[in-house]
Amino acid sequence: MTQPVLEVDNLHVAFPSRQGRKYPWSPMNAVRALNGVSFDLTKGQTLGIVGESGCGKSTLIRAIAGLNKPTQGSVKLNGADVDYDNRRDVLNLRKSIQMIFQDPVASLNPRMTIRDIVAEPLTAFRTDLNNTTRLEKVRNMLDRVGIAERNFNRYPHEFSGGQCQRIGIARALVVEPSILLCDEPVSALDVSIQAQVVNLLQELQRDMDLSLIFVAHDLGVVRHISDDILVLYMGSMMEKAAGKTLVSAPQHPYTQALLSAVPVPDPNVQVQSQVLEGDLPSPLNLPVGCVFESRCPKRASICTTEKPVSQDIKQSQVACHFAAN
Amino acid sequence: MTLLSVRDLNIRFTTGDGDVHAVNNVSFDLSAGQKVALVGESGSGKSQIALSIMGLLAKNAIVSGQVMFNGNNLLAASNDELNQIRAQKIAMIFQDPMSALNPYMKVGRQLSEIVELHEGLSRRDARIRAIEVMEAVQIPDAKRRLDAYPHEFSGGMRQRIVIAMALICRPQIILADEPTTALDVTVQAQIMHLLDDIQRDMDTAVLLITHDLGVVAGFCEDVMVLYGGRMMEKSKVGALFKSPSHPYTRGLLRAVPNIHDQTGQLHAIPGSPPNQMNAPTACPFAPRCNDVIDTCWQTLPELTGEDTQRACIQPVEALS
């Protein structure tokens, strides 16, 4: 098997918090946003990450990009460990890992023309280029995402949401990264525009041999674009499987509940959505056992005492004591 | 029995750059117990229609047409008259529960205030009613939660409170403006389930404004599709999903990725939403339509048909 472009092993992220301390001078508490997530990303593949808000989807990809520091675990890029404390390492990382964001308009500097916005990564990372070649690259990239040259001197507010997301994609891809991290790139867009952007991403992925990590809460979109899907809940991995397997034969009770809640655009399909009862645990004080225990329809005493380890069941990796039956 | 009848509704907004034609010649009826969806993308005017019914349009709006409710035209009603109707007869659920609630007020007070004002209940009775309605929307431990502030609730619980606020006077009509858009799918399923139960119990008419076709399929009986402020198609939910008759509806349905049926590329609708600075003289969807013919650029199609009404000059058979 070929070497994966990105190997994430047992990644933890915790944020210090003042909440829940006894005294002001007590040590900081930790909000444990991400607890031991591992996966490999193969070249040209797409990994989808799904979960509810607050489950750590964004924290995970921001940690990979070096925007928040992992507290434990390792990230390997092309087989080499990334040291997030080393500034040079992080800068190097950004030549190969780029990111697009949820709010297309807010992620572009309103005081820069789109030509300057797309040229900026090149100024930062490709100091070997002269002005002409740089602008040539910018022109090609913007042309590739479907922005006409007469618009290059305009500012972000003059474009629609869909166009701004295209510009964001151009800015990310102009340095020819090998991995593109997508943080809810289409959730702010209308359905008809969403499909345009998803198609564009898939085309560019094919042409540039990109690997994508695609975070979204819309399971339909994630299923469409991803090869593998990883399901997160309270910062822990619940299940990981090929998209098709995950949707047709979900093994984890959380995945089953999540899938049953997705509305189907067909009135003849009677959806029996499984309503989850119970409360979410606090990330300040995570349970000893399974994080999903408080809402799980299958819970038993073992779930409160023992944390399930990820095991291979059929073609899925599942973290549940009862997944096998 | 028709409760609400909207006729030839036009909404324009005067801006420094000229008039924005947000809603153009929209007509529809809402009967008791009916669940109707109003579907459209951002800027299609769906929220403005709901706001005009409630008399909540922005100051620079120019409205014409009629919104008839109990023999009154709500568009011509004074604020005092509208206050007799708002919450008691017609209530609205807003999209963002955090900004629909007052962060400085305990939720119990926000609920009881409504019945004190509209039904003249005493503080104590209003408080009891607030507990009842919070229990009805399944907020656990309602008695204690009455004294909590909005920020102490999760998004789903906050939306339940907003729904409770809409229900507290037992209105005949609920206008639900994207009630689940800000929520996770698991919570969305709970909220839609709840809304369905309550609607059946109280025989309320619901106008559900949304862009999510999945939610429409699961909840509504009738559906109206808006584009560029104009009604494109009006039909039964079953018929619309089975055989959409308008090119825009077809495009919209094809653009949604179906989780169980994954075949190749998504069918995007090319182009971008229309500029509504000028009064429409041609079909607003023409620039993005696959089946466009010359006459599409010259005539403004009217909504015609019996069971399924559509605004397209071409017959269904001629569409690709």
**CATH number of A172's domain:** 3.40.50.300
Instruction: With CA atoms as reference, report the closest residue to B268 among A214, A143, A199, A162.
Output: A199
Q: Considering only CB atoms, which chain B residues are within 8 Å of A257?
A: 186
Residue A52 to residue B258, Cβ atoms within 8 A: no
Residue span of the structural domain in which A312 resides: 251-325
Q: Judge whether residue B259 has pLDDT over 90.
A: no
Establish if A79 belongs to a structural domain.
yes
Amino acid at position A128, single letter: D
Nearest-CB residue to B217 (from A191, A224, A265): A265
A164 and A100 in a common domain: yes
A221 and A257 in a common domain: no
ipTM, interface predicted TM-score of the complex: 0.80
Cα–Cα distance, B86 to B64 (Å, whole number): 20
Nearest-CB residue to B251 (from A192, A219, A268): A192
Class of residue B17 by CB neighbours under 10 A (exposed 0-12, middle 13-18, buried 19+):
exposed
Q: How many CB atoms lie within 10 A of CB B70?
A: 10
- Average pLDDT over chain A reads 90
Instruction: With CA atoms as reference, report the closest residue to A78 among A27, A170, A3.
Output: A3
**B263 shares contact with chain A (CB less than 8 Å):** no
Q: Considering only CB atoms, which chain B residues are within 8 Å of A194?
A: 255
For residues B185-196, give the mean pLDDT. 86
Q: Judge whether residue B41 has pLDDT over 80.
A: yes
Question: How close is the nearest chain A Cα to the Cα of B16, in Å?
Answer: 16
A263 and A205 in a common domain: no
Nearest-CB residue to A273 (from B155, B189, B252): B189
A192 and A46 in a common domain: yes
Q: What is the pLDDT of residue B211?
A: 87
Q: Which residues of chain A have pLDDT under 50?
A: none
Q: What is the pLDDT of residue A27?
A: 86
List the single range of A51-65, A242-256, B109-123, B266-280 with lowest mean pLDDT: B266-280
Residue A273 to residue B273, Cβ atoms within 8 A: no
Establish if A246 belongs to a structural domain.
no
Residue B270 to residue A269, Cβ atoms within 8 A: no
- At which residue do the structure tokens 């008695």 appear? B143
| 8 Å CB contact between B52 and B75 | yes
| 8 Å CB contact between A262 and B214 | yes
User: Domain end: A211, A226, A241, which one?
Assistant: A226
Instruction: With CA atoms as reference, report the closest residue to A233 among A273, A288, A292.
Output: A292
Question: How close is the nearest chain B Cα to the Cα of A237, in Å?
Answer: 18
Model pTM above 0.80: yes
- Among chain A residues, the shortest Cα distance to B257 is held by A220
A119 and A84 in a common domain: yes
Percent of chain B with pLDDT over 90: 60
Q: Considering only CB atoms, which chain B residues are within 8 Å of A266?
A: 217, 241
Establish if A282 belongs to a structural domain.
yes
A256 and A222 in a common domain: no
| 8 Å CB contact between A224 and A198 | yes
Establish if A285 belongs to a structural domain.
yes
**B112 shares contact with chain A (CB less than 8 Å):** no
Q: What is the pLDDT of residue B9?
A: 96
A154 and A12 in a common domain: yes
- Among chain A residues, the shortest Cα distance to B213 is held by A265
A264 and A218 in a common domain: no
Q: Considering only CB atoms, which chain A residues are within 8 Å of B273?
A: 160, 190
A297 and A197 in a common domain: no
B4-21: pLDDT as tens digits? 999 999 999 998 888 999
Establish if A238 belongs to a structural domain.
no
Cα–Cα distance, B70 to B147 (Å, whole number): 37
Nearest-CB residue to A191 (from B215, B252, B288): B252
Establish if A245 belongs to a structural domain.
no
A266 and A189 in a common domain: no
Chain A contacts to B (CB-CB under 8 A): 52-53, 160, 162-163, 190-196, 198-199, 202, 217, 219-221, 223-224, 243-244, 247-248, 257-269, 271, 273, 275-276, 280
Cα–Cα distance, A223 to A40 (Å, whole number): 18
Q: Judge whether residue B262 has pLDDT over 70.
A: no
A311 and A266 in a common domain: yes
Residue A221 to residue B260, Cβ atoms within 8 A: no
Residue B211 to residue A259, Cβ atoms within 8 A: no
For residues B259-275, give the mean pLDDT. 80
Total domains in chain A come to 2
A272 and A221 in a common domain: no
For residues B68-84, give the mean pLDDT. 92
Establish if A114 belongs to a structural domain.
yes
Q: What is the pLDDT of residue A324?
A: 66
User: Domain end: A193, A226, A259, which one?
Assistant: A226
Establish if A299 belongs to a structural domain.
yes
- Average pLDDT over chain B reads 90
- Three-state helix/strand/coil letters over chain B: CEEEEEEEEEEEEEECCEEEEEEEEEEEEEECCCEEEEECCCCCCHHHHHHHHHCCCCCCEEEEEEEEECCEECCCCCHHHHHHHECCCEEEECCCHHHHCCCCCCHHHHHHHHHHHHHCCCHHHHHHHHHHHHHHCCCCCHHHHCCCCHHHCCHHHHHHHHHHHHHCCCCCEEEEECCCCCCCHHHHHHHHHHHHHHHHHHCCEEEEEECCHHHHHHHCCEEEEEECCEEEEEEEHHHHHHCCCCHHHHHHHHHCCCCCCCCCCCCCCCCCCCCCCCCCCCCCCHHHCCCCCHHHHCCCCCCECCCCEECCCCCHHHCC
- Among chain A residues, the shortest Cα distance to B262 is held by A224
Q: Considering only CB atoms, which chain A residues are within 8 Å of B184?
A: 52-53, 217
Question: How close is the nearest chain A Cα to the Cα of B77, in Å?
Answer: 35
For residues B73-102, give the mean pLDDT. 91
